[in-house]
Amino acid sequence: MATPIILDCDPGTDDAFALLLALASPELEVLAVTVAGGNVGLECTLPNALALVALAEANVPVYAGADRPLLGAFVNETRVHGVDGLGGIGLPAGGAAASGVAADAIRAILRSAPRRVTLVGIAPATNLALALMTEPSLADRAEQIVLMTGAWGEGNATPAAEFNALNDPEALAVLLACGRPVVLVTLNLTAQALCTTERLAVLRRAGTSQCLARLCDIQATVPFGPRFGGTGAALHDPCAVAWLLRPDLFTTRACTVSVDLGPGPCRGRTVIDRWNRWGLPHNATVLETLHGDAFFALLGERLTRLP
């Protein structure tokens, strides 16, 4: 039986891979795609999600969600994702968003689903947190909460913080405290999903799917930053979906994780107690290693199944 998921995203070049990987995978039943601002504003992330769902010819409702975090405003990342969020490649427009807002849809699905639902968050965690803050008992209806967020080392948005954690640390704190299993896909993990020029070329040759071709076009626009010495760009978000498909590609560690909510330079930093120094109850499973070549092989094998 397929695992029911809700995918909360902010497409976003790497979100595009995650979304299409999920839609291409029969092990997953995507009940809804919920969208927040983040990488770019909601006025772009929402049409991007709709265009990607249409490209995959999938029949999945897409809900508009938060255009700002619980506090303050999203700080966008157009240097990586382009001003439109998908590298300016110009996908055909998709259909209309479903009526209602993301947090309401998440609650309604959790309430009525016959089985627990896995929440996959690859954006600032605002939509997921709003859903659980407004009806905390529904947390029990979540099977697990898989989040691409945080790092045990340095950040990518600031020296201390990863982008999604920085853009709504209070929301992340709500999820870490909700009592259900949380799985963290950090920058330290996604560094092992480094998309180099060579890997992108191999991926492009994996098949003739239009979806695959457009994703490779999108990825080709992502600049190689200094973090990996100009050798590639980390494909962060599809790692969260890959965890659901091939957990055997990962090693994990149970940890206590907290997020810095202060106003200073450490805001949004995830403090991950990998060696149990606090001796506190664990609140997250942190993915530590990934078999990078097998991950890219999985992407190629799945994405070629799409139109």
> Given the rule CB under 5 A, which residues bind Ca ion?
10, 12, 15, 122-123, 237
Pairing of strands 3-9, 117-121: parallel
Unique residue bearing structure tokens 């490209």: 55
The distance of closest approach from Cβ of residue 39 to ligand BDR in the complex, given in angstroms and rounded to an integer, is 5
Q: Which stretch binds ligand BDR (CB under 6 A): 27-35, 126-134, 155-163, 217-225?
A: 155-163
Site string for ligand BDR, 216-255 (x = CB under 6 A): --------------------xx------------------
DSSP state of 101: B
Let me know if 291 is a catalytic residue.
no
Q: State which residue, 226 or 279, has the beta carbon closest to ligand BDR.
A: 226
The Cα–Cα gap between 189 and 185 comes to 6
Q: Which stretch binds ligand BDR (CB under 6 A): 9-17, 109-117, 257-265, 284-292?
A: 9-17
Is residue 85 near ligand BDR by the rule CB under 6 A? no
The Cα–Cα gap between 67 and 96 comes to 18
Secondary structure element (H or E) that encloses residue 129, with its range: helix 126-134
Output the residue with the shortest Cβ distance to ligand BDR: 163
**77, interface contact from Ca ion, ligand BDR, none, CB < 5-8 Å by kind:** ligand BDR
CA distances from 66 to 12, 23, 71, 114, 258 (A): 15, 23, 11, 27, 23
Is residue 164 near ligand BDR by the rule CB under 6 A? yes
Is residue 156 near ligand BDR by the rule CB under 6 A? yes
Nearest to 61 by CA among 15, 104, 118: 104
Q: How many CB atoms lie within 10 A of CB 294?
A: 13
The Cα–Cα gap between 256 and 224 comes to 32
Q: Quick one: which of 19, 109, 122, 235 contacts ligand BDR (CB under 6 A)?
A: 122
Q: Quick one: which of 63, 74, 152, 163 contacts ligand BDR (CB under 6 A)?
A: 163
Give the three-class secondary structure for 66: coil
Q: State which residue, 100 or 159, has the beta carbon closest to ligand BDR.
A: 159
The Cα–Cα gap between 256 and 58 comes to 38
Q: State which residue, 141 or 236, has the beta carbon closest to ligand BDR.
A: 236
Q: Which residues are catalytic?
A: 236
